[in-house]
Copies of this chain bind each other. A is one copy, B any other.
Amino acid sequence: MELAAAKLKFIEAWGKLGSEWGINRTMAQVHALLLISPEALTTEEIMETLSISRGNANMTLRDLIGWGLIEKQHKAGERKEYFFADKDVWNIARQVAKERKKRELEPVLKVLNELSTVTGDEKDPEFKTFKKSVTDINKLAINVDKTLETMLKAEESWFWGSVLKVFK
């Protein structure tokens, strides 16, 4: 496979994966583009390569910065802003995990906590079933939270070393 074709395929695949994971396609594609680019790129270059509008490019870049996946770079003597992506895949994974934990897991844990204070008749099957589901989900969510917490602090080699050794 040729490099040019491979790049397109990678951008497409990353975009699809993103959209399956609640990250919009364009955002994932811009990220993909910067990820495989050895040099920081300008808004202009990104707009052209991906055929997207200026407004879209601007908002997407802003979101990616918000996710901690890319950064702005200023070149001496130039007005333009350049953007580049962190190339360390483990950092990327951590960053995504961190953001999703904050945006999604934590609110859910909060609600589950509230819900576990529900009162009712212990003999009522409706009550018992509700309570059990909420409690069980809460336990699972707490375990997931703890695991993510560890991952956020861990070095990649240590993390996979440990996990895969256990699962041998």
Number of copies: 2
CB atoms of B147 and A163 under 8 A apart = yes
CB atoms of A87 and B133 under 8 A apart = yes
Interface footprint category on A:
35 or more
Min C-beta distance of A10 to chain B, whole Å: 6
CB atoms of B125 and A38 under 8 A apart = yes
CB atoms of B13 and A118 under 8 A apart = no
A76 within 8 Å of B (CB atoms): no
A49 within 8 Å of B (CB atoms): no
Known: A127-B3, A160-B143. Is A17-B108 also a contact (CB below 8 A)? yes
Known: A38-B125, A38-B129. Is A9-B137 also a contact (CB below 8 A)? no
